[in-house]
Amino acid sequence: MRPFQYLSPGNLSEAISLLAKYREEAKVIAGGTDLVVQMRRGVIKPKFVVDITGIPGLDYIRYDDTQGLRIGALTTIRVLEKSADLWQRYPIISQAACKLGSAAIRNVATVGGNLCNAMPIADTAQALLALSAKVRTLGPEGERVVPLEDFFTGVGKTSLKIGELLVEIQVPVPLPNTRGLYLKHLTRGSIDLPIVNVAVLVTLEPEDKVCKDIKIVLGSVASTPIRARKAEEIMRGKRIDDALIHRTAQVASDEAHPRPGSIRASVEYKREMVKVFTRQLIQEIVSQYN
Amino acid sequence: MKQWLRLRVNGEDYEVFTEPWKSLADVLRDELNLTGVKIACNEGQCGSCTVLIDGQSVKSCLVLAPKANGKEILTIEGLAKDGKLHPLQEAFIKHFAVQCGFCTPGFILAAKGLLDENPDPTEEEVREWLAGNLCRCTGYVKIIEAVLAVAKGKS
């Protein structure tokens, strides 16, 4: 690992000043479970490592009936996993959290870190995108609130500007009769990077089975997590039946564009799994309404 | 660019002068001679470096040394009290859950982290919790048995 200077700001404005001062030579560390690995491999070589875990007030899960959910960026994945409130209100986030890495990783990894690391496989990203989450950032020029969809710009790339820190994730109150599921398809039981991961959120009128809204998020099949928008359009506003589910799953599969040459799975297999899991997740969600 | 760290390890206070790019695993092994902490993958996958930090199981190879400042750390060396083995250590012996022993400290500390929080886990929960610890020798069956035996013994 290349030598660096370790800095530990005690508050947000100190952290932002450091990041603004050292610019591309500085990297933020929170849990470190992605960063340390990348530094050790020489993928990134910061001169300054800015540890933000000393900043108070960024570790919380708050909910209210009008604003919805607010999660502090330094909340660990383990805290998300264990929150009974979250399981009750936004179980798709809890499902994603409990699939991340392994228990010891989840004890220190943070949701902010998972998003800022910006891998197309990021577990919490899939669930939060399905929920139309936004992220609040703080920087030298002040505060911004950005839809999570616009936050990821490429593999490992975000729309964060120099000096900016992600401080909060905001999730709106879901429409009534909304249910979601997250699935991570792995070769092994855990730890491994997924072949594909899929998050589906459905809002259904239970009496007439009309799909009021649907979000399909696909991970590991593009340079960022993606919404399968064409597939969503096929289903949105229609009465859900098996034929429609199959068509939707097929279109979702067509929207996936995994890169060839992945050691984990071929393009064809990944596309097929997107189809299979989109179908299975929608079917499972619909059956939960009965 | 070395800096001072204060750590409490296995009940004793230490001051260590080390570079910030060393991991906690490096510090425990090289500065404090606690070689029960093993480094195998050095990537946070295999769990052989697992220690308890403030009671939580953590992969010490991924903890940059300065992050451990002010923390309370438990390694395998800190489990036995006055020469008497911890129930987990005894169970691993009794249930033949140790072969080469390289993964064992990590497994035992991970298991302690689990049982401290959830004293009566199901087998599923034990397997899920220990998914971050890899063993090349035993095939895991005896390890799971040992952990469950301790859990049942406690409840």
Q: Which domains can be identified in chain B, with CATH numbers?
A: 3-78 (3.10.20.30), 87-154 (1.10.150.120)
- Provide CATH code, domain A178-288: 3.30.390.50
Using pLDDT thresholds of 50, 70 and 90, give the confidence band for residue B155. Answer: very low
For residue A43, the distance in angstroms to the closest alpha carbon of chain B comes to 13
pLDDT at B75: 98
Q: How far apart are CA B62 and CA B64, in angstroms?
A: 6
Are the beta carbons of A191 and B45 separated by less than 8 Å?
yes
pLDDT over 90 at A16, yes or no: yes
- The torsion angles phi and psi of A180, rounded to 5 degrees, stand at -140, 160
Using pLDDT thresholds of 50, 70 and 90, give the confidence band for residue A191. Answer: confident
The mean pLDDT of A255-277, rounded to a whole number, is: 95
CB-nearest to B21 from A4, A33, A102 is A4
Give A238: exposed, middle or buried? Use CB within 10 Å, 0-12, 13-18, 19+: middle
Kindly list the residues from chain A whose CB atom is less than 8 angstroms away from the CB atom of residue B27.
none
Portion 44-73 of B in contact with A at CB < 8 A: 44-45, 47, 50, 56-59, 61-64, 66-67
Those residues whose C-beta lies under 8 Å from the C-beta of residue B74, and which sit 6 or more positions away, are: B9, B10, B51, B52, B55, B109, B112
Do A125 and A164 touch, CB atoms closer than 8 A? no
Mean pLDDT, all residues of chain A = 96
pLDDT over 80 at B53, yes or no: yes
The mean pLDDT of A98-111, rounded to a whole number, is: 96
Using pLDDT thresholds of 50, 70 and 90, give the confidence band for residue A192. Answer: confident
Do A49 and B20 touch, CB atoms closer than 8 A? yes
CB-nearest to B1 from A3, A8, A78 is A3
Q: How far apart are CA B72 and CA B68, in angstroms?
A: 8
Q: Read off the pLDDT of residues A30-83 as tens digits, 9 standing for 90 and up.
A: 999 999 999 999 999 999 999 999 999 999 999 999 999 999 999 999 999 999
Task: Name the residue in chain B with its Cα closest to that of A54.
Answer: B67
Are the beta carbons of A107 and B56 separated by less than 8 Å?
yes
Structure tokens at A160: 């964060």
3-class secondary structure for A57-70? CCCCEEEECCCEEE
**Pairing mode, strands B12-18 and A226-227:** unpaired
Using pLDDT thresholds of 50, 70 and 90, give the confidence band for residue B154. Answer: low
CB-nearest to A104 from B1, B43, B57 is B57
Supply the ipTM of this predicted assembly: 0.94
In the three-class reduction of DSSP (H, G, I as helix; E, B as strand; rest coil), residue B41 is classed as coil
pLDDT at A96: 97
pLDDT over 70 at A8, yes or no: yes
Q: Read off the pLDDT of residues A200-232 as tens digits, 9 standing for 90 and up.
A: 999 998 888 899 999 999 999 999 999 999 999
Please give the full DSSP string across chain A, using - where no structure is assigned: ----EEE--SSHHHHHHHHHHHGGGEEEESS-TTHHHHHHHTS---SEEEE-TT-TT---EEEETTTEEEEETT-BHHHHHH-HHHHHH-HHHHHHHHTSS-HHHHHH-BHHHHHHHT-TT-HHHHHHHHTT-EEEEEETTEEEEEEHHHHEEETTEESPPTT-EEEEEEEPPPPTTEEEEEEEE-SSSSSSPPSEEEEEEEEEETTTTEEEEEEEEEESSSSS-EE-HHHHHHHTTSB--HHHHHHHHHHHHHH--PPTT-SS--HHHHHHHHHHHHHHHHHHHHHHT-
Do A103 and A77 touch, CB atoms closer than 8 A? no
pLDDT over 80 at A264, yes or no: yes
Query: Which H or E element spans position B6?
Result: strand B3-9
Segments making up each domain of chain A, as ranges = 5-51, 61-171, 178-288
Q: Read off the pLDDT of residues A107-130 as tens digits, 9 standing for 90 and up.
A: 999 999 999 999 999 999 999 999
Portion 101-130 of B in contact with A at CB < 8 A: 110, 113-114, 127-129
CATH 3.40.50.1970 fits A5-51, yes or no: no
Kindly list the residues from chain B whose CB atom is less than 8 angstroms away from the CB atom of residue A40.
42-43
CATH 3.30.465.10 fits A61-171, yes or no: yes
Task: Name the residue in chain B with its Cα closest to that of A104.
Answer: B58
CA distance readout (Å), A164 to A26, A27, A139, A143, B9: 12, 11, 4, 9, 36
Q: Which residues of A touch B (CB under 8 A)?
A: 1-6, 8, 29, 32-33, 36-37, 39-40, 49, 51, 53, 78, 101-105, 107-108, 189-191
With a pLDDT cut of 70, the percent of chain A lying above it is 100
